Structure 1
Amino acid sequence: MATFAIGEIPNYFNMEFFKRALENGLRMGDLKILGISIENLTMGGENYCSNIFRATIKYKTSEDQQTEQTIIIKNMPKQKQSVLSRLNIYRKETIFYLDIKPKMEALMWYLDKPWSLAARHFHSTTEPEQNIMFEDLSMLGFMLESRQVGLDLAHAQIVMEKLGEYHALTMLMAERSPAIIIDHFTFGLLNKDSIKKEAFKALFGAQLLKLATLVAEYPTMAPISKKLLKYYDHFTERVLESVYPLRGNVNVLNHGDLWVNNMFFKYDCNPTKFKAPSEVRFIDFQLCYYGSIGFDINYFLNTSVQLDVLKNHRGSLIETYYDGLVRTLKALPYNNPIPKFTDILEEIAQRESFGFFVAFGFFPLMSMFTMDSQDNSLEKFYDEEFARRKIELMFQSNPRTMETLKYSLQRFDELKVLD
């Protein structure tokens, strides 16, 4: 008999639902479900596109062996689907996990080392709602780091190395199977339709104006404040210019949402004593798009690393990324010329304006303390009063936010991004 934890759990999460998920994910038949325990992991300020559940399923195999399996269910209820329908997030992520991820992990056999990019896919459904089910990485010893604190150098290095490897694999697959990599992933979260909407400017433009007001309080940053106000006067055009054209000279399948909450880390020893991770896996491939490598790198650096890392180790992190990219391309049967380091630097430089948008548009929301963001949701941000109150909190909730933005704005100004 199923026992449900407290929370808004779909009533179709029943024996038959999980029997199909396990039989598909474990490649086994004739399973008998003995019991189900479900925990609602959905948190405001953490999960914007979906609801997250953890199910622990006790079952018996056809050989009469009793065991259990824990899986994560990514549930996209109809109210969230209506807001995000144009992004095709379910279709993109399902294609990624079924058609792309297995090929990537098989290709890494060329490097003669065990390599996994993400959690194992178990099952997907479209009715009565969209659901994608995965293995629970926490059961394998993986854990999240704090979005409020950001990643230190050791964590950032392992992410950049993995990103370089992942990007290299997508370059090969785009060469060999363009219909899978290129044709299905033509736009991301920031696309022409969303950027041109009044609601987009109402929210993100208001954040920019708030930031301009705050930095004006620092005498040395008054000129930057004026430039932010000029940016706002041509807001839609400037944001579009930061994103389009998507293609550069070195193109990959960008993850599209590479920030702290979409990375799970594993440690060889007690992480409270020694914080260097031994492995990282990425999650949430629902916003992937094919375009310049500069997008993922600028997104990650402007949302996820600690200020000291951003100030003092940006160059070395890009070198780590490049080492992972080139090492993987050389090991693979990749036929095109391997990009030079200067090519990568140029791609990143050409997308600094995208990094600026991410810095003022996404980072303040991502770094909010839990007590200030626990009631955040996509639907609520359509309410003007709610959005106004949250914009006030975004820049005040966490001291790290303004400290990082002051440094980043000065850097963007030196690079002429704000002109």
Structure 2
Amino acid sequence: MLQHEETEKTTMKVPPAYINANYIRQALECNMYYDKPVNVLECIFQCITEEDSKNRSDIYRAHVQFEEYRSGHPEIYNTTLIVKDVIRDDATKATTNELVMFQHVLPSMKRILSGISDYRYGTDNYVPKKRGLKLFADCLFCERGKREIFVMEDLQALDYGSLEPRYGLDLENSKLVMSKLADLHAASMRYMKEFPNMVATLLPSPLSNGISPTSRQAVTAFEGMRTAIKMVEQWAGFDGISASMRIWMENFNERLTQVLRSRLCRFNVINHGELCTKNILIRLGVQDSSDPNIVIVPKDAVFLDFQSSFVGSCGYDLNVFLYTSVSVEVLKLHRQELLRHYYDRLKETLKGLKFQEPELPTWQTLLDEVYDLEFIGYYALLCLLPLSCMDGVASTEGRERQHKLMYENQRVQEMLRYGLTRLAQLGVLDCITSETDYPPS
């Protein structure tokens, strides 16, 4: 379910002095479409992120009118751009892979996928923007120094809209996202073959050493877990599960580092890293059919925010997406079908990228990867899902009150009841941490 663009929340927050019309001019002149001097006539910034300490970036929509000279006379254009000003974590001084993702990895993936003509990922010169497929927003300009800033195309102008997180995705939308995730992972596998030296420079998962107790993330994660445990303790029939949750909270970082050990992966991809509804946009369109009745269907999905990207098991992205973004009803009835849909598309795309049969992962390998990283699903349930469903929780509320409201959300409670029961049945919440938790490859 898409949110209508008029419902997009804005704030009165103004950008810092360094984000201005001159900065936008430089971005326009630097990107490949505008290789001539640009004169910005008007530039109005609108903050589209809520003022909240949990935000990792301040994001602005820039409404720009500019002129450039063509054939000796000026031509005036109007456009909108997205400016992302990354908030640095002063406690950890952590950096991410996002800059290299937008500078090299993602453009290379776009080129790789454009080689499969049936997929319509082609270059902008040959495929109309509102008909072609995309994986991400094209980045016009990015830099990292005293600050980290990205200037990107505005996907809303291409008819992509955000998802409504309160209900979870239906089967049709879930399959679309699974297809696009398979394309992302397949393209990353080709990228890793073409650019092994570049891949070697990518940082590991932000969670590979656990969650730093001094980081901004720790406040949300561990206080959220305490709130969830208190709530689950009140549920009939969840005594054993809540007891396991308490023990796992004390050993949470140890388990995370165990699960994310790269040597345990049977095949690696470049993961998105935080595939929740807030990082997915959908484009709707008319169903291709001879039926005279107009039917609106999801046509494409794109991914936002590559701050958490890393090389690792495909099971990471799959578990995060399933536990945070798909409706409970769809998971209960179609979880295996969704995984099969992902696998079939992954194989199809890899074959289109000239992978040979022995190089293709098997269905059982995929299932093993997902199983091995089910604990990431536990992390997603407790830490990522409540954040993605917190729309309407005022940032002015006290922190304890905020967490209480987040976990009282109906979708969060439904998913916790389903997810915790499932994880307990799989043995993921068993309080044993040893190498025997992982079957040999």
Fold-level match, TM-score > 0.5?
Answer: yes
From 12, 20, 40, the equivalent of 2:18 is 12
CA 1:409–1:15 in 2, change beyond 3 Å: closer, same or farther?
A: closer
- SS of residue paired to 1:57: strand
For residues 237-386 of structure 1, the aligned pairs below 5 Å read: 237-245=254-262, 247-269=264-286, 276-334=297-355, 337-368=359-390, 370-375=391-396, 386=398
CA 1:231–1:126 in 2, change beyond 3 Å: closer, same or farther?
A: closer
For residues 53-92 of structure 1, the aligned pairs below 5 Å read: 53-63=60-70, 64-77=74-87, 80-83=88-91, 85-86=93-94, 88-89=95-96, 92=97
**Which range moves more in the overlay, 124-133 or 155-164?**
124-133
2:337 is aligned with what amino acid?
Answer: S
Paired position in structure 2 for 1:383: none
The answer on 1:135 being equivalent to 2:153 is yes
CA 1:245–1:331 in 2, change beyond 3 Å: closer, same or farther?
A: closer
CA 1:228–1:189 in 2, change beyond 3 Å: closer, same or farther?
A: same
State how far apart, in whole Å, the 1-side matches of 2:405 and 2:421 are.
22
2:378 is aligned with what amino acid?
Answer: F
Alignment RMSD (CA, Å): 2.5
State how far apart, in whole Å, the 2-side matches of 1:200 and 1:75 are.
18
The answer (yes or no) to whether the contact 1:118–1:282 under 8 Å persists in 2 is yes
CA 1:84–1:152 in 2, change beyond 3 Å: closer, same or farther?
A: farther
Quote how far apart the aligned CAs of 1:98 are. Answer: 1.9
Higher relative CO (CA 8 A, sep ≥ 6), structure 1 or 2? 1
CA 1:198–1:232 in 2, change beyond 3 Å: closer, same or farther?
A: farther
State how far apart, in whole Å, the 1-side matches of 2:295 and 2:168 are.
17
Paired position in structure 2 for 1:151: 169
Quote how far apart the aligned CAs of 1:246 are. Answer: 6.7
The answer on 1:399 being equivalent to 2:406 is no
Identical aligned residues as a percent: 26
- SS of residue paired to 1:405: helix
Paired position in structure 1 for 2:436: none
The C-alpha deviation readout for 1:295-351, integer Å capped at 9, x for no partner, is: 000011111111111211111111111111100111113356101111100100010
State how far apart, in whole Å, the 2-side matches of 1:279 and 1:320 are.
16
State how far apart, in whole Å, the 2-side matches of 1:321 and 1:393 are.
34
**Which range moves more in the overlay, 194-203 or 304-313?**
194-203
The answer (yes or no) to whether the contact 1:247–1:290 under 8 Å persists in 2 is no
Structure 1 unaligned spans of 5+: 377-385
Quote how far apart the aligned CAs of 1:404 are. Answer: 1.1
- SS of residue paired to 1:117: coil
1:111 is aligned with what amino acid?
Answer: I
The answer (yes or no) to whether the contact 2:211–2:253 under 8 Å persists in 1 is no
Structure 2 unaligned spans of 5+: 1-10, 122-133, 288-293, 431-441
TM-score, length-scaled by structure 2: 0.83
CA 1:325–1:30 in 2, change beyond 3 Å: closer, same or farther?
A: same
